[in-house]
A and B are shown apart, each in its own frame.
Chain A
Amino acid sequence: MFAYIVRRVIATIPVVAIVALFIFSLLYFAPGDPAAIIAGDQATPADVERIRASLGLDRPFVVRFVEWSWQVMQGNLGVSIFTNLPVSKMIAQRIEPSLSLMLLTLTFAISVAVPLGVLAAWKHGTWIDRVVMMFAVFFFSVPVFVVGYLLAYTFALQLDWFPVQGYTPFSISDPLPWLRNLVLPAAALGGAFVALIARITRATMLEVLSQDYIRTARAKGVSQRPILFMHALKNAAVPIVTIIGIGFAGLIGGAVVTESVFAIPGVGRLVVDAILRRDYPIIQGVVLMLSFTYVLVNLCVDLLYTLFDPRIRY
Chain B
Amino acid sequence: MSSTLLDPAVAAELPDVLPARKQRGRVAMFAYRHPSIFAGGLLVSLVVASALFAPWLGTADPTALAPAKRLRSPSEIYWFGTDMLGRDIYSRVLYGTRVSLQVGVMVALFASVIGMFIGLTSGFIRVLDTVVMRVMDGLMSIPGILLAIALMALTRGSVGNVIIAITITEIPRVARLVRGVVLSLREQPYVEAAVAAGTRVPKIIWKHILPNTLAPITVQATFICASAMITEATLSFIGAGTPPTIPSWGNIMAEGRALWQVKPFIVLFPAIFLSITVLSINLLGDGLRDALDPRMAKKI
Which positions in A face B, CB cutoff 8 Å? 14-19, 21-23, 26, 29-31, 137-138, 140-146, 149, 153, 157, 164, 199-200, 203, 207, 249-250, 252-254, 256-257, 260, 271-272, 275-276, 278, 280, 283-284, 286-287, 290-291, 294-295, 298
- The verdict on A280 contacting B274 (CB below 8 Å), with A18-B134, A260-B238 known, is no
Q: What is the bound-complex CA distance between A257 and B250, given in angstroms?
A: 12
Within 8 A of A (CB), among B245-261: 253, 260-261
- Chain B residue, CB-CB nearest to A203: B300
Cross-interface CB contact of A207 among B145, B234, B299, cutoff 8 Å: B299
Q: Which of B7-15, B146-154, B185-193, B196-204 contacts A (4 or more CB under 8 A)?
A: B146-154
- Which residues of chain B are within 8 angstroms of A278 by Cβ–Cβ distance? 153
Could you list some 5 contacts between A and B, CB below 8 A? A15-B134, A19-B142, A23-B142, A31-B154, A280-B153
Cβ–Cβ contact B237 & A290, under 8 A: no
Q: What is the bound-complex CA distance between A290 and B144, given in angstroms?
A: 11
- Which residues of chain B are within 8 angstroms of A254 by Cβ–Cβ distance? 145
- Chain B contributes a number of interface residues (CB within 8 A of A) equal to 43
Cβ–Cβ contact B234 & A140, under 8 A: no
Q: What is the bound-complex CA distance between A153 and B145, given in angstroms?
A: 25
In the complex, B135 has a CB within 8 A of chain A: yes
Cβ–Cβ contact A145 & B143, under 8 A: no
- The verdict on A287 contacting B238 (CB below 8 Å), with A137-B279, A143-B230 known, is no
Majority secondary structure of chain B interface residues (helix, strand, loop or mixed): helix
Cβ–Cβ contact B279 & A253, under 8 A: no
For residue B179, give the distance in angstroms from its CB to the closest CB of chain A: 17
Which positions in B face A, CB cutoff 8 Å? 134-135, 137-147, 149-154, 226, 230, 233-234, 237-240, 253, 260-261, 264, 267-268, 271, 274-275, 278-279, 282-283, 286, 299-300
For residue B282, give the distance in angstroms from its CB to the closest CB of chain A: 5
Which one of A23, A149, A276 has the highest number of Cβ atoms from chain B below 10 Å of its Cβ?
A: A149
State the 7 A-B residue pairs at the shortest beta-carbon distance, nearest first: A18-B138, A253-B145, A141-B279, A249-B143, A141-B278, A146-B271, A291-B142
- Which residues of chain B are within 8 angstroms of A17 by Cβ–Cβ distance? 138
- Which residues of chain A are within 8 angstroms of B233 by Cβ–Cβ distance? 143
* Given A14-B138, A19-B142, 16 other A-B residues pairs in contact with their CB atoms under 8 A: A14-B137, A18-B135, A137-B286, A142-B271, A143-B230, A146-B274, A153-B264, A207-B299, A250-B143, A254-B145, A256-B238, A257-B234, A275-B149, A275-B239, A278-B153, A294-B141
- Which residues of chain A are within 8 angstroms of B237 by Cβ–Cβ distance? 143, 145, 257, 260
Cβ–Cβ contact A15 & B143, under 8 A: no
Q: What is the bound-complex CA distance between A146 and B237, given in angstroms?
A: 11
Which one of B149, B150, B300 has the highest number of Cβ atoms from chain A below 10 Å of its Cβ?
A: B150
